[in-house]
Each structure stands twice: as structure tokens, then as C-alpha cells.
Structure 1
Amino acid sequence: MFQFRKLEMRNWDFWQSIEVPLDAQIVTIVGPNGSGKTTLLDALRTLLALPCSGRRDYKRYVRNASEPTAWLRAVVDNPTMKSGDFFRQRPFWAIADDAVTLFCRVSKQGGDWVRHYAIASGVVELNPETEKTLSWLGVRDYKLNLEQAGLTRAIAEVLALEQGDTDKLCEYGPKALLDLVFQVFGDKAVLDNYQQAKHEQKEAENELQELTRQLDGLEVRVNNMRTRAQRYLDWQTLEQEVQRLENSVLPAMRYLESYDSVMGYVGQFKGMRRNLKLRQDELNRADAELREQAAAAEAVIGAEKQAEASYQQLWEPFQQAKTEARAAEKLLEQRDRMKALAEAESGADAAELGDKLGRLRGEQAELQARIKQAKLEREQLSELQFALQGGRQPSEPFVRQMRAALDEAGIGHQLLSEIVEVRDNSWQGAVEALLAPYRHIILLNRESDRQAAFQIGQRLQYRHFIVPEREAPPKAVPGSILEILDIKTDAPAWLTRQLNQVQRVKSIEAAAGVQSDWITREGYHKERRGARHIGVDARDHHFGEGARQSRLTEVSRRLRDLNQQILDWEGASVELGREVSGLQLQLAGMDAVQQLAARRDEFDAAEKMLPELQSEAQRLGAELAEQQQGLETMRKAGMDARLRMKEIEISRNGLLKQVSDLLAQVESRQQEQTRQIEEAKQLRATLIEQGLATQTLPALREEWGSAQNVRHDIHRQRERLEHGDWERDASVLELREKMQQDYEQLAGDTAARSREVERARELTDEARSAYIAKLRATVRAYSANIKRLGELSGIVVEVDPPHLDNDDVTLAQAGLAVRFDFDQKGMMGLNDGEASGGQQVMKSLILLIGLMMDESNPSGFVFIDEPFAHLDVLNIDKVGAFLKATQAQYLITTPLTHNVNAFAPSELTLCTYKKRPGERWAPVISQARRRVNKSA
């Protein structure tokens, strides 16, 4: 390593420009505290790119100078070393000169102080031109150059020891001390070779591990690719099987089923044709019967009208004869009353006659009111009779109002009574009883009109159901009410279901075994809540032709009775009027005898005509009764004829619907049969094109049974193809082969690399052997150095050589154990706490100086800050003696108050001075060089 010869400082702390010589083995820097001894050493440390002592740094020193730039320059030697390496004969191997100049420039840049370094060949002075000619380096590159010149990191760590820390080496552990010794003494090439071998071995092992990991991963991928390839082959096989089923098996099974279906359709078609012929014959017979019944009904209805006309012709003469006879009777009765009045006139009481007159007038007024009410009822019944005779069922006023509102809104509708016909008139009463609550239900033709219809019903407060939902009636349960009804169009499903659940029973006794709801002809009804009579009067029948005829008969009878009642009330009213007139005359003072005399001729004529009028009235009444009986008979016959015609018409319509349905079915079956024949031909042609022999069809039928089974299997296989984890790319087979080749190639590379790793281990072992040999030599040399230093200082030093084996673990754990014996008081270790402060300094100096004692290359330098601080005079002399015995360069600081013996080994003494108060710069450093005795 190099040594210092000169140091120049400009604008460094409080030195403006100063140059001091350092061309001596031992340089002592003396001065009072605060005079700059440590500042000078920190200048050397900064020049070597080492940290300053304590908490100081180079920025502190350049800031104190208050100049923009500070310079440090040192001239060091570049001696020829005794190394066998031609390229490493000098510390600065790229420079052939014996001297090298080191530069450090500290300048302010971007608000902070920045260092730049330079290395120049020879002795280069610091002048304005120097900065331009030098090649400036950064801190990192500069450190690398110094390290190549011998200033290793271990030596740099020793040189960076602070003031009073020279005893720190004795605090090193055995392993740390061994590392430091080998870093200073060791052959770097050996260490580099060993480290390079370890590095290459580690890299080879890492590469082998990486290749092994890649090989394992590739093996997993190869296995996965094999699995994927197998899934592709399985998918391909399954796809081919599905295609075979779809292209061959399914058409074959469809052909077989189509052939069987055609054969079955032929038989069914013939049976349907026979059934259609039977139904058509029945329809023809029903049409003939309907025509015959229509002619018979027309004849009966004509006779009914003729009988009614004859009845009307007799009615008026009978009424006239009856009226005349009654008038004669009343006239004679008036005569008899007048006779009675004449006999009692002499003793009559006027007050009693007045009361009687008032009573008769009241009776006459009440009778007139009855007559008026009866005539209103007759007028309504006449309108009802006219409507019923026209085939219409008149509705209630509120129903007519609601229907008129719906018609005005354009909402098509029907009443329930308009679509229901009773087939069996004997059960008319039971049907009317069950449907009585629903007779005013309104059925909408379009379900979309519900909202508008509901709004109209809300506005008119219509209390009966408005039903938009309608369905075709279900098939009637035998014995139910629905069975005897003919519902012409769709009806509410809930109503037809209810009618289908009610059974018809002849009596309550016959209903003992019936579990469901039932009803008798008279209208006695049993349901889930119990049983009760719900029958309605015949005048309130609403459903079917029987209801219309029943209501018409009842209205006609009521009209006859009402007419007779009106005639009787009118006759009574006339008689009361006559009595009132007689009483009025009597009260007016007219004599009853005089009235009899005045009206004698009138009374006599009435008495003569009364027997003849009564006889004529009786004759006409007998004829009218006979005519009425015939009319009733004809009306019943007409109603029976109409009902029979209605029954035949219903039966005929049912047959017509059956024939129409059968015709549609026959046509559909014929088309389907034709289609199946064509399909069978096409399927057979397809089978022939695919080369499928017909001889194999029985085997396919035996294997699959039906086309549905084939479809089911195709669907199942398609489900597997769709949802299974398949590979569908044929390139997976090529990838499998490629990955297999890659795996085999990588396996070969891994085996080759494994052999290389074994070779690297052998090289590492060889490098480690060389390293151990050099380490042992270094330990022997260092042990000899510190033992000799101990002899110079009177201290016994023993070194336990480290245990070194040819393995990394042992080398990593190896350490250098050093023991010291001061004044024959027994051995002590490096830092066992038994040594005094001075003994700790002696230990550290021995260990420190021993690092610089290299007989092959005597060079290097050491900074020792106040090494004699804790030593007595005798020990100072001992330390000075062995400092001189070494060939290293020592820069030592010491205070002025120290013993003068501290200057004994020094060849050059530098004296620093404190800055005087009021002055900007400190005084220059004075020097004293030991006179050399030439004679010696």
C-alpha cells in the first residue's frame, strides 16, 4: 500500500492555504486542544473518502472557511511491490511513476457541498490550470481506485477510528479479528478465486435448482397435456358416436317407427271413415226428423192460433150478454130496493141515510182505485205476454238500464239466461232454483272490455256479477245438473264447475247414498252448509224455452183472471153508483113510490128480458169454457211440439258438431298419413344413400327399441359434450408431442448441468483448500507479528490458531483467539474485562500495528489519535520502540502537556496553533524534523 509524502490544504476550516510534509515513518502532530490536530487527520480522511471523526463531516470544515471551494492535495508514493503478479507490481498499477498526487475538491452545488476526486500521475501542483486538466471522479469510483491501491475496506475501517478509540481493536471478537487480519494480510486473488468459485458454484446450484424446478413444472405440464390429449381423444370418440347415432341410427329408427305409424294410421283412418259414415247417417235421420217435427209443430201452432182466434170471437159476445144480463139483474135489484125504501120511507132517518151515503161513496172510491191498479197490471202483463209470444224473455228495468249503457259504450255482452237451455223440462224448477241468484249475470264477449264494463257497473251500482273470463263448458258428470243443460257458448268456469258438482235426485230418500251436493225436482237443495228449499215460482222462470212457455201460460192465466176481476169490480162500481144516486135522490126529498111509478115500464121490460139474457149468457159461457179447454189443450200441444223440436235440434246440432269434428279429423289424419308416407320414403332413401342395409334394421330395433331412446341417448351424450371438461382443439396432440420433446431435452440439460455442479463443487473445494492454506499462512504471519510486538513491549502474546477444515461451515465459524499476559499476571483475552485502560490501549496497538507489519511489502500508513493518553512513561517508551520497529507510516496526535518521551520515536513533528481572536485564519503549522546522524 502507498504512504503519504506531502499534504496541502486550501480553505480547509480556518487554514487558508497550508502545505505540510509527511515524508517520515512516524509523524507526530502536537498542539493544544482545539488547535487543529484532529482537523488535519480529518483532512487526510476526507482526501481518502473516509468518514471524519466523531460527529464531524467535511461540510463543517468548508463552511468554517466561508469560501465557495476547498482543496485538498496529497502526494503519495507508488512503490514497486514484491508481488508475483506483473500487473499488480505497484499500488496504483495503471501509473508507472513513483509518486501519485491525490486531489479532493469540495464545492457548493445546488445549495449543498459536493466532493469530487482526481488521481494524477507524478507530483502535480495545485494551480488554476490544474482543475481543467484533471479527470474528476465520483466518490464511488475514487474509492474503488484506492481499494485497488491497497486501501481495503478493512484498513479503511481501521483508519477511521476516532480519537480515543484506538483500543477498539481489542473489543473485536475472534471471528471479526480473523476477518480483519485476512482482509489486510490475505492475498486478494486467493480470496477472489475462492469467492468466485463459491459464486459460480452457487450460480450453478441455483441454475440446477431452477432447471430441476422447470423440469418438475414441465413434467406436470406434460402430464396435464397428456390428460388434455386424452380428453380430446375421448371427445372425438364421443362426437363420432353422436354423429353415428344422428346420421345412421336415428334415421333408421325413425324409418321403422314411421313405417309402423303408417300402418297404424291406415287402420285408424279406416275406422274413422266408418265412424264418420255412421254419424252422417244419424245426422241425415236427425235432419229428416227435425223437418217432420217442424212441420208438425207448425201445424200445431196454426191450430193453436185458430183456437185462440175462436176463443176471442166468443169472448166479446159472452161479455156483452153477461153485461146485459147483469144490467137487467141490477135494474131489478134496484126496483126491489126502491120498493123496500118506499115501504120504509115514512119512518126513515135522514142522518142514517147520510152516513150510508158517505160509506157507499168511500167503497166506490176504493173500488175505482182497485180497478185502476188492476188495469195498470193488465197493461204490464199484456206487454210481457207480447214479448213472450215473440220468443223474448223480458228483463228487469235495472238490467235494461245496464245493458243500454254497455251497448252505448260498444261493449258486446250476453245475459246468462240467453245462453242456457234446459233439455229436460221436468227439472226446470231445480235448474231455476240453482240459477236464480245468477239470472242477471252479464257475460262480456271480449275480456279486454273488463275495465270499461266495471266502470259502468260502478257508476250504475249494478248489484250482479260482470264476468269477463269465459271458458268452454267441461264434460258433464253423469247425473249432474250440467248434464241436462245445453250451454250454447263459453260460460264462467266457476259456474259450470258448480253445476257439474250438483247431482239430481228424485227424492230425499233417494239421496241417502249421495256424498256430493244434490237437488230434487221441487228445489230442495243440499250443500256443504246443509239442506234447504230454494225453489222459485213459475212466474220467475228465466232459463230456456220451457221457462218462456211456463211464464207465457202463467201470464195468460193471470190476464184472464184479471180481466174477470176488472169486470166484476166495474159492475160493483156501477151498482154502488146507482145506490149513491138513489140515496141522493131520497135525501133530496123525492118519493120512492114516485120513482117506482115513473120507472115501471123500465122495470117490467127488464123483468121480461132477464130470463132470455141469462139463458144466452149461460149458453155462450158454456161454449166459451169448451173453447177455452180446447185452447189450453192446443197450447200444451204447441209447447210440447216446440220443446220436442228444440230437443231434436239440440241433438241434431250435436251430431252436426260430431260430423264436423270427424271430418276435420279424417282430413287431418289423411294429411298426416300422406306426410308420414312421404317421410318414410325420404328416410328409406336416406338409409339407402348412407349404405345402411335393411337387414340391419331388426338388430337396431332390438338394440334401441325406439327413436325416442336414441334421441334420449343423443341428448345425454350432447349434455356430456356440452357440459363435460373436453378438449376440442386437435392441436393439443401436437402440443403433447412438442412438450414431450421439450421435457426430454430439458431432462438432458438438467443432467448435464448436474455434472457441471459436481465439477463446480470440485473447483470450490480446490479454491477453498488454497484459501485455507493462505489463511493459515496469514494467521502464522500475523501471529508472528503480534508476538514480536509483544516481545518489544514486554507483553506475552499467545495466539490460538483457528480450526480450519475444508468446508464452508467451519470457515464461517472460524475465529482468531488472542491472549495477553501483562507483568506475568496471567493470560487474558481480547475483551474479557480484566485489563486496565492502558492495557486495553496496548492490546489494540499491538493488534493494530501487527496489521501493518508485512515484510514482503513494507508499506501502509496508520492514523493514531492520542495513543499515549492512558500510558505511563515506561509503556510510552515501549510503544515508541515497537512503532519504530515496523515499516508502516504512523501519523500520531498528542497534546502539548504529554510526557516528552512521546516524541522519542517521531522523525517529523508538526505543531498546530489555535486561531487568534479577531483573526480570520489560523497560524500556519510549524514543523520540526529529527536530525539524522549521518555517521550512525
Structure 2
Amino acid sequence: MFHLQNLELVHWDYCQRVSLPLDASIITIAGPNGSGKTTLLDAMRTLLGLKCSQPRDYKTYARHAGAQVAWLRAVVDNKPHTRQTSSRPFARQLLYSDQVTLACRIERNGGDWQRRYMVVEGDVSIEQLTERTDKELRTMGVEAWARVLSDAGLSPAIAKVLSLEQGQTDRLCEYSPRELLRLVFDVFGDQEVLNAYDTARDHQSQLTREMQQAEKELDHSKAQLAELQNKVTLYKQWQHRVQERERLATEVIPVLEWHTKRQKLAQNSRELHRDRLRLAAHKAERAEQNAQLLALLKARTQAEADEQRLLAERDASAVQRDQTRDMERPLEALNKREAELLALVDKESDAESLHAHLQDLQTRMQDAQARRSVVLDKKTQADNALQALDGQRTPPHPPEARTLRQRLQAQNIGHRFVAEVVDVHNEHWRAAVEGVLRPLRWVVLLDKPGDVAAADALASELRYRHYIVEPGEALPKADPQSLLAQVRVDGKLPRWLAQQLNNLRCVDSPRDGRQLAGNWITAEAYTFDGRGARSVWVEPRDHQLGAAALQSQRDALENDVRRLDAQLGPLTQALMDLKRQIKDCEQALAGHSAAQELAKRAEEFADARQAWPAAKQARIAASMHWQKLDTAYVQAKSHYQVADSQYRQQEQSLRQKNQEADRQAAEMLLRRQQLTAEVDASQHRKQQIPPGWRTPEALQGLMDKYDNERQAKLRLDSVEAELQLDTWEKDATVEERYRRMEATVREQTFSLQDHQVKNAQAATAVLNARESYIEVLRSTVRRYRSNIQELGSLAGVEVSADLPALENEDSVLAQAGLKVNFNFDGKGSIGLNDGEASGGQQVIKSLILLVGLLKDEESASGGFVFIDEPFAHLDVRNIQLVGHFLRSTQAQYVLTTPITHNLEVFEPAEITLVTSKKPRDSRWAPPIAVAKRRGQPVLVPV
């Protein structure tokens, strides 16, 4: 390896132009911190194509100078390595002089800095280099420059060592055994063997890559073959779909349409026959119902005649009753008058008793007036209520319902009450329906679901006690025995209400109801709901459902009026009697004599006493006869209403059935005509279908596959939709391309097999080359062990190294390492980086390992080393040890050290370069002082 003899810097950092001698074994660069010591080392590193100390780089130094071009030039020796060989470091560059000039030109190019390297024979100045062209100088980049220096002995491993940062001199001793072994072989290894091993590995890698490429190509071809196979499959499927579409459109669907219509015609014919039979049965049923209707008509006529006869008899009896009452009243009045006068006669002689009797009569008159006023008020209310029903179609609503309706109508909220929707269909069950629906008849049924919130707000404000529900649903089919079947509903009801009515079974008596499992009710409104049985009877005056309820209320009010009239007559007569008695008392007190009137009218009173019992008996008999006729009339009227209701229901039902029968007969005639036309069309279509397509076997096969015409059409639609997709392959040449690709895959398979054979042969060659490499590696380790042991003896350190276990396997070689142990002062063996060595021992260990890399087989010195501050943090004794070791190795060292009071750091140096800080007001740094040790040789000859 070459040595540095001279270094020249131009426009490097703050150095305008500096030329420094380096022709010594140990050169020390001294100066205060920040004076440029590392700057000089980075200049040498940049000249050798190495990285500067982090975070600096060559651009930083070139930029500081402020010039367009910066130069780094060094003169190095080019003498043979040993006396036994004539090989010069730069012989491969055809340079055979003893000195060679290495130069680096750094110039600004487009705003950035660019390095160009050159090597020329002899000691050539920068001016001479400037006069030559790049072509003459054969300038090169950093990568080519690294190859040139590597050929001269500056291997990448040594370059890595030379790039150590400041304060990391002991870095080599921190290497792992595997890293150290790799570094040793990179420096000492036989290049030819290494090249042969690398060539064999590269050849095997190339063959492996080619085999992998062949595998990829084969896989790609197989993928293409699979893709073509899929395309062939899609092409065949497309052809099959086209053929299927053609068959479906021309054969399957027409045949199935004809067959389906044929079956439908047969089914329609059978249904038409069944309908004719059903129509005949319904005709017989209607004849029977006509007979029942005639019987009901007769019964209704008889009931109507009975009602009219009893009404006439009752009216005649009422006339007779009134006549007897008119005959009785004068006689009764005379008898009462006689009794009053007799009672007054006894009191005429006693004025005090007469006054007491007058007061008693007046009290009784007041009581009679009060009772008559109560009855009269009730009668007035009944008359008003009866008058209010005039012109009404339905019973009036209660006040709370009327108030809520007004508020709902004001906000345009459509609604109806349950009482307006439900009517009784069968009057026999009116009491049951009225009783069940009494708590629910003012439930509000809204027309729109969106009105619920507004209706709730109004009902909450009015404290309405009945439900507000959303629009109901269509009624379910009513059970004929349920209460739902006994009502008519003009609209929709909530599901729960319809279900409640449909779950109530109508029974004749509670005994019959107890035998059922569910809920039941009788016509008298006695019901059972699972919790028990109770009566929900509602008085007729409180009926609310339908027009019949209005009549019930009217009848009840009329009865009330008649009853109150009957009560009002006796009360009025008693009041008149009391007034007459009071008048008599008042006259008696005024001097009138009751005895005189008795004497005067004695004959009249005697005739009245004699005739009154007979007249009274006649009136009682007439009243009883009228009461009997009235009861019979009411029963006859009820019987007539029931008979009339049954007749009307039967008549309406029969009328609907007759209309339905007429409609069915017309439809049947139309269906018969249409069926005949369709049969003729089917026969004509049959003649157009080939006989082979309509055989029983062919038809059964189509039915088994497609089931019916609709499924065949759906299949045709599906096929049409599939054919419209872009995923089909329609190119007929795809089958030929598939056959060609299949042949290509076979050829590539054979080629891959050939590559596999060659790769196996290359693996054998790599195995042999690896064996040679292992032998060279063993010899290299032995030589390096010898070097470091020799260097250790010079430094007074016992050094030992364990040879690594090497096998012919890449994984073992990758894990192999060189373990080195040191023994300082007989204190025991320590390893590379076990933490037991002192600072100076760490430096000596690293220097031994480092300089051992620079010694050749003859143990002569070689190469140079940059060490930045090797004496940092060392005491005097360790500085002496390190200095002694540096002198004994006879290698070239470039050391840096700060200005310190410890002069021992300068003791090993033959040349000392002293740097100074740049003054604040100066552009360039001061010149570098050079101190040579007197009497010492500059550089030990190689």
C-alpha cells in the first residue's frame, strides 16, 4: 500500500493555499479546538474518496472558501511493497515512477459542487494539472476513484477504518468476531480465490435467476394457458347458450305454451262443469229460500194484522176507560166534598182547632205543590228530549264528544266515532252489542296517521276519557257464531276491537256458554271474559248504535212522558182538593157554616155515595182491560218487528243471491263461448307443431326440465341476460391459440428442467470454490493472528486468537468469527469489547488490530492510518504506552491532538503541524506551522 509524502490544499475551507510535508511515520496535527485539525483529516479523506466527519462534507469546506474551484493534491510513494517483489501500488494504472500525484478538483457546477479525481505519474503541481484537459488527465468520479485506490491497496475495509469519526479510535476493538473476520479477509484474502468463489456464486446466482426467470415464464405461460382454457370454456359455454336460446325460442317455449294452454283449457272445462253443478245446487237452495221467504211474509202479515187489531181494540178500550173515569170523577168529588164538610163541622165550634187544621192543610198543599213541580220538571225534560230527537237519524252525542269534535273539525282532522261506524245487523243481539261496546262507542277513529300527535294534544287538553286510535284495518272474516257477525261496520276498526268482537261467541243461555272454552255472551248481555261472568245490560234509552237505537230512545222517552202524565193527574187533583179545603177553612173562619151546606146538599151527597162504588168498579175493570190489551199490543208489535226484520234480511239475502246467480250465469255463458274459441285455437296450434315435439315422452321431458312455460321464459330471459354480458369469449380462434400455448408450455417445461440440471452443476462448482475459499480464509486468519501477536509483543501485550470453525456451508461461513484476546501486564485475558480494558488499553487493542491489517506476509510496514485524537482522556502512562506502540509498528500515522499541557502527546511525532484559529476579521486562516524532529529520518524506507 502507498504512503503519503506531501499534501497541498487550495481554497479548502479557510485555507487559501497550504502545502504540508507528510514524509514521516508519525505526523501529529496539533491545535486548539476549532482550529482546523479535523479539516485537514477531512481533506485527506476527501482526496481518498472517503466520507468526511459527520455532519460535514466536502461541499461545506468548498463553500466556505468562496471560490469557484478548490484543489486537493497529494504526492504518494509508488515503490514496491517489499524487497522480494517489484509490484507497485499503481502498476495497474500503468504508473511505474517512485512517486505519483493524487488530485481532486472540486468545482461549482450549476449551483452544486462536483468532485473529479485524477492520478498522474510523478510530482505534478496544481498549475500543471490545470493546464491539462480532463481527457488527458483521465478524470473520474468517486466510484471509479475508489476502484483505482483499491487496486493500489486502499481496500474498502481500510477505507472504512480511515473514515472513523473523532473520538472513535478504539472502534476496532468494538467489532464483533464476525465483523472482524470479515474485515481481515477483505484486507488479506487471496483476490483470485475470492474472485473465483464470487464468480462461482455469481454464476450460480445467475443460473438461479435464469431458473427462476424460467419458472416465472413457465408460470406466466401456465397462467396464460389457464386463461386460454377459461376462454375456451367460456367460448364453448357461449356456443351452448346460443344453441339453448335458439331451442328455447323455437321449440321449448312454443310447445310448453301450447301444452300449458291445453292443460288450462282442460282445467277450465272441468271448472265450468263444476260451476254448472254448483249453480244448479244454488238454484235449488234459492227455491227453498223462496219458500222460507213466503212463510216469513205470511208470518209478518199475520203479525202486522194482529198488531193492527190489538191496536184498534186497545184504542177502543182506552175510550171506554176514559168514559168510566169521566163517570166516576163527579161521584168521587162529591164523596170527597162530603167528607171534607164532615171533617170541618167538628172544628167549626173550636176556632183554635180550625186554625190548626188550616195550617196543616197549607203545609200539605206546599208539599203537594213541591212534588207536582218535580214531576212537572221531569215531564218537561222528557218532552224536550223527545222534541230534540225529531229530525235526527242517529242518537245525539254526549257533551264531551261534541266538544272534541268541534275542536278536531277546527283543525281539519278527519275522524269518526265507533258509534258512527258500527250498527246492529241482528236486532235480537242488540242488547249484547250495546253492552259490549258501551265503554268503547266514543273511541275516536282518525282518518290519517299523521293527525295522531295533534289529536293527542287536544284530547289531553280536554281530558277526553276515551281512546284516540290510528286508522283501523279491514275487518277479518267474521266467525258466524261470533258477535262480530251480528253487526254492520261502515269503515275500519282497530284490530284489537275487531278481534274482541270476533272472539265473543253468541250463546242462547249461560249454561250453554259455560260448556265453551272461550268468551261468550247471551242475547240478554250476560257475558263471560275469562275473569268471570257478569251482565253488561244497557237500558234501551241508552242505546246508541244505528237508527234503531234512536227509535229505542224515542220509545223510552214516550213511556217516560206517559208515566209522568199518569203521576201528574193524581198530584194535580190532590192539590186542587187541598186548595178547596183551605178555602172552606177560611170561609168557616169568616162565619160560613159547613153543617148548613151538608144539610142543603144531603140528598146530592147520598146519591153520590150510593152510585160511586159501581162507577169505581167499572173504571177499574176498564183500566185492567186496557192494560191487558196494551201489553198484548206491545208483544204483537215486537213480534211484528222481529218478523219484519227476518223477512227483510231474508229478502235482501235472496235478492243478492239472485243477482249473484244471474251474474254467474252470464259469466258462465261468456266463459263457455270463450272456452270454445280457445279450444279451436289450440287445435289449430297443434297442427303447426311437429308431431315429434308433442309426444307424451317429449312433453314429459320438457316438463321435468322446465316445469312450466313461465320457467322456460325465465330461463330464456336468463340466457339472454347472460349473453348480453361482456365476459363471454366469442373468438373462434381461441381454441387454436390454446393448442399453441399448450405446446409452448411443454417446451418451457423442458427448458426449465435443463436449467435445473445446470443449476445443480453450478452448485457443485460453488461447493468446490467455497472449499478453496475456506482454505484461503484459514491461511489469512493465521497470517493475521501472527501479525497481531507480533504487534502485541512490540507493545508488551500478550495477544491470542482462536481460529474460527469453518465448514463448506454458506450459513456456517456467515456465522464464523475471529475471537481475539489480550493480556495486559499478566492480569488475565480480556476480549474485544468486554468492558474490562482501560482507555489506553482500548486504544492499544484497536491499534494492534488496525496495524495488523497493514502488515504483509514479510511483516513489513504498509499503509497509513488517520487517527483523530487518539490520546483523548488518557493519562500520562497510557499516552506513553500508545506512543511507544506507534513508534514500534513503523506504519504511517496522521494523528490529531488539541493543545494540551501534557507534552507526552508530541513525543512520538516526527512532524508536527500546528493549526490556529481564524481571526474574526480575517478571511483566511493563519498559515500552518510545521515542526520536524531533528535528527530523525523522515520516513523509514520500505
Give the aligned partner of residue 419 of structure 1.
423
Contact 1:47 1:73 in 2 (8 A): no
Contact 2:9 2:15 in 1 (8 A): no
CA shift in 2, pair 1:184/1:623, >3 Å? closer
Give the aligned partner of residue 795 of structure 2.
none
Superposition deviation, residue 647 in structure 1 = 1.1
Unaligned runs of at least 5 residues, structure 2: 32-36, 82-87, 788-802, 819-831, 833-843, 867-879, 882-886, 895-909, 917-925, 938-942
CA shift in 2, pair 1:587/1:117, >3 Å? same
Give the aligned partner of residue 208 of structure 2.
205
Structure 1 Cα separation of the partners of residues 646 and 195 of structure 2: 127
Contact 1:175 1:815 in 2 (8 A): yes
Aligned positions of 1:902-917 closer than 5 A = none
Contact 2:421 2:489 in 1 (8 A): no
Contact 1:549 1:639 in 2 (8 A): no
Structure 2 Cα separation of the partners of residues 193 and 301 of structure 1: 140
Give the letter aligned to residue 651 of structure 2.
R
CA shift in 2, pair 1:355/1:125, >3 Å? closer
Superposition deviation, residue 564 in structure 1 = 4.5
Give the aligned partner of residue 641 of structure 2.
642
Give the aligned partner of residue 823 of structure 1.
none
CA offsets, 1:95-115, max 9 Å, x none?
A: 799986443568999999997
Structure 2 Cα separation of the partners of residues 405 and 842 of structure 1: 115
Larger radius of gyration: 1
Aligned positions of 1:94-109 closer than 5 A = 101-104=101-104
Aligned positions of 1:336-347 closer than 5 A = 337=342, 341=345, 344=346
| 1:329 equivalenced with 2:335 (yes/no) | yes
| 1:372 equivalenced with 2:373 (yes/no) | yes
Contact 2:194 2:773 in 1 (8 A): yes
Give the aligned partner of residue 349 of structure 1.
350
Contact 2:272 2:668 in 1 (8 A): no
CA shift in 2, pair 1:731/1:746, >3 Å? farther
CA offsets, 1:148-192, max 9 Å, x none?
A: 567666898999999xx9xx99x999999999799789686x865
CA shift in 2, pair 1:304/1:177, >3 Å? closer
Structure 2 Cα separation of the partners of residues 711 and 754 of structure 1: 61
3-state secondary structure, aligned to 1:528: coil
Correspondence for 1:264 among 267, 270, 281: 270
Structure 2 Cα separation of the partners of residues 554 and 913 of structure 1: 141
3-state secondary structure, aligned to 2:48: coil
CA shift in 2, pair 1:241/1:673, >3 Å? farther
CA offsets, 1:493-541, max 9 Å, x none?
A: 6367457534534575x66645445566766655533445665667767
Structure 1 Cα separation of the partners of residues 667 and 613 of structure 2: 79
| 1:475 equivalenced with 2:483 (yes/no) | no
CA shift in 2, pair 1:9/1:928, >3 Å? farther
Structure 2 Cα separation of the partners of residues 258 and 517 of structure 1: 46
Contact 1:197 1:764 in 2 (8 A): yes
Superposition deviation, residue 448 in structure 1 = 1.5
3-state secondary structure, aligned to 1:127: helix
Superposition deviation, residue 648 in structure 1 = 0.5
Structure 1 Cα separation of the partners of residues 555 and 163 of structure 2: 143
What is the TM-score of this pair, normalised by structure 2?
Answer: 0.62
Contact 1:473 1:491 in 2 (8 A): no
Give the aligned partner of residue 118 of structure 1.
118
Give the letter aligned to residue 118 of structure 2.
A
Structure 2 Cα separation of the partners of residues 109 and 405 of structure 1: 99
Superposition deviation, residue 254 in structure 1 = 3.4
Superposition deviation, residue 359 in structure 1 = 0.9
Contact 2:321 2:626 in 1 (8 A): no
Superposition deviation, residue 589 in structure 1 = 3.3
CA shift in 2, pair 1:441/1:807, >3 Å? closer
Structure 1 Cα separation of the partners of residues 716 and 261 of structure 2: 22
CA shift in 2, pair 1:749/1:251, >3 Å? farther
Give the letter aligned to residue 355 of structure 1.
A
Structure 2 Cα separation of the partners of residues 813 and 541 of structure 1: 110
CA offsets, 1:563-583, max 9 Å, x none?
A: 454333333333323322222
CA shift in 2, pair 1:861/1:675, >3 Å? farther
Give the aligned partner of residue 901 of structure 1.
none
Give the aligned partner of residue 653 of structure 1.
652
CA shift in 2, pair 1:220/1:329, >3 Å? same
Structure 2 Cα separation of the partners of residues 622 and 815 of structure 1: 149
Superposition deviation, residue 652 in structure 1 = 1.8
Structure 1 Cα separation of the partners of residues 269 and 740 of structure 2: 60
Give the aligned partner of residue 84 of structure 1.
none
Structure 1 Cα separation of the partners of residues 850 and 765 of structure 2: 38
Contact 2:404 2:459 in 1 (8 A): no
Unaligned runs of at least 5 residues, structure 1: 82-87, 786-800, 817-830, 832-837, 855-859, 871-875, 884-889, 894-909, 931-936
Aligned positions of 1:302-451 closer than 5 A = 310=316, 317-334=323-340, 337=342, 341=345, 344=346, 348-381=349-382, 398=399, 405=406, 411-413=415-417, 415=419, 419-424=423-428, 432=431, 435-436=434-435, 438-439=437-438, 441-442=440-441, 447-448=446-447, 451=452
Give the aligned partner of residue 144 of structure 2.
141
More displaced 10-residue stretch of structure 1: 112-121 or 708-717: 708-717
Superposition deviation, residue 358 in structure 1 = 1.0
Superposition deviation, residue 351 in structure 1 = 1.6
CA shift in 2, pair 1:407/1:677, >3 Å? farther
Give the letter aligned to residue 438 of structure 1.
L
Structure 2 Cα separation of the partners of residues 58 and 408 of structure 1: 95
Give the aligned partner of residue 587 of structure 1.
589
Superposition deviation, residue 747 in structure 1 = 1.9
Contact 1:411 1:453 in 2 (8 A): no
Superposition deviation, residue 415 in structure 1 = 2.7
Superposition deviation, residue 744 in structure 1 = 3.0
Structure 1 Cα separation of the partners of residues 534 and 369 of structure 2: 42
Superposition deviation, residue 419 in structure 1 = 1.1
Give the aligned partner of residue 494 of structure 1.
497
More displaced 10-residue stretch of structure 1: 546-555 or 323-332: 546-555
Superposition deviation, residue 637 in structure 1 = 3.4
Contact 2:30 2:915 in 1 (8 A): no
CA shift in 2, pair 1:407/1:588, >3 Å? farther
Superposition deviation, residue 649 in structure 1 = 0.4
CA shift in 2, pair 1:119/1:715, >3 Å? same
CA shift in 2, pair 1:240/1:668, >3 Å? farther
CA offsets, 1:751-777, max 9 Å, x none?
A: 343455467568879989999999999
Contact 1:76 1:99 in 2 (8 A): yes
Give the letter aligned to residue 130 of structure 1.
T
CA shift in 2, pair 1:207/1:31, >3 Å? closer
3-state secondary structure, aligned to 1:419: strand
Superposition deviation, residue 657 in structure 1 = 3.8
Superposition deviation, residue 258 in structure 1 = 1.7
Q: CA RMSD in A?
A: 7.6
Give the letter aligned to residue 362 of structure 1.
T
CA shift in 2, pair 1:587/1:315, >3 Å? same
CA shift in 2, pair 1:395/1:48, >3 Å? closer
3-state secondary structure, aligned to 1:262: helix
Superposition deviation, residue 361 in structure 1 = 1.6
Structure 2 Cα separation of the partners of residues 491 and 630 of structure 1: 46
Structure 2 Cα separation of the partners of residues 803 and 187 of structure 1: 22
Structure 2 Cα separation of the partners of residues 365 and 543 of structure 1: 44
Contact 1:422 1:546 in 2 (8 A): no
Aligned positions of 1:817-856 closer than 5 A = none
CA shift in 2, pair 1:58/1:268, >3 Å? closer
CA shift in 2, pair 1:198/1:29, >3 Å? closer
Give the aligned partner of residue 743 of structure 1.
745
Q: Percent identity?
A: 22
